[in-house]
Amino acid sequence: MNLANGYMIPDIGFGTFKTPDGEICVNAVREAIAVGYTHIDTAAIYQNEVSVGEGVRQSGKARNELFITSKVWNSERGYDKTLHACEKTLKDLGTDYLDLYLIHWPANKLQFGEKAEAINVDTWKAMERLADEKLVRSIGLSNFYPHHMEPILAMANIAPTVDQIEYHPGLLQEDTIELCRKNDILVEAWSPLGRGHLLDNPVLAEIAGQHGKSPAQIILRWVLQNNVLPLVKSVHAERIRENYDIFDFELTHQEMKAIDTLPDARFGSNPDTVEF
């Protein structure tokens, strides 16, 4: 896939949320790269960036063949803190640049009242400096709804390239996706499998049977065909391979529509109501 700033981003990402630090994480990242993933997604709050970096090194893959994403955590919002947070992430990962750096969650009005917008804008200014200094190649957002994004879009010298949101059957986030597409912002899907809750759905099981695929593969293919980039995680080698094997089939229009109409479901936090 293409980002608006001209960089290429691999079509599927390997996520590391809740992947335990240490050998489990190192092995998972190394296995993912061996399978074919070249897009690795992590975050400071996952507390496993050192292990992610070690997995990358053990893979033997050249740094310029990989796309590595991280995120600045909520406690580090603001101009100076964001700069320092990125410096620590680079050190922990053992790399001198990130391909993509995101604001992990927007400051919201529930926590910060009328100061929320200024906090987000101040953090974005730091992201732009990181891009100007070539410490990060692309900058973006995570969990930003339109009303969180619009103040940044209004002032940005460097526009966001990505918004990473919870996206899966039952949570289509149509307003957010519409604004992103209007502004050439790529949408990435975290928890595309609904943290596993969607895998027993009979509609998905029926479609999976027709293609000789698993329900997880059907969901990931649905995400891709909606021009959204899926981020998927596992620590099990078989599932890591299975989740990557989604490029040899295509869902029909009718199958896509059937998945679109699955019941509403949210499994993560709402950006407007989080208090962390």
Catalytic residues: 46
- Cβ–Cβ under 8 Å, residues 225 and 188: no
Going by C-alpha positions, the residue among 219, 211, 230 that lies closest to residue 260 is 219
Q: Report the distance separating Cα 248 and Cα 270, nearest Å.
A: 34
132: left (phi over 0), alpha (psi -120 to 50) or beta: alpha
Q: Report the distance separating Cα 255 and Cα 275, nearest Å.
A: 38
* Backbone phi, psi, residue 2, to 5°: -100, 135
Chain centre distance of CA 1: 14
Residue 256 exposure: Cα atoms within 13 Å on the Cβ side: 11
Q: Which residue matches tokens 């940044």? A: 152
Going by C-alpha positions, the residue among 44, 141, 56, 39 that lies closest to residue 99 is 39
In the DSSP assignment, the letter for residue 49 is H
Tokens of 59: 């893979």
Tokens of 263: 């019941």
Residues 6+ apart with CB under 8 A from 76: 44, 82, 84, 85
Q: Report the distance separating Cα 162 and Cα 189, nearest Å.
A: 11
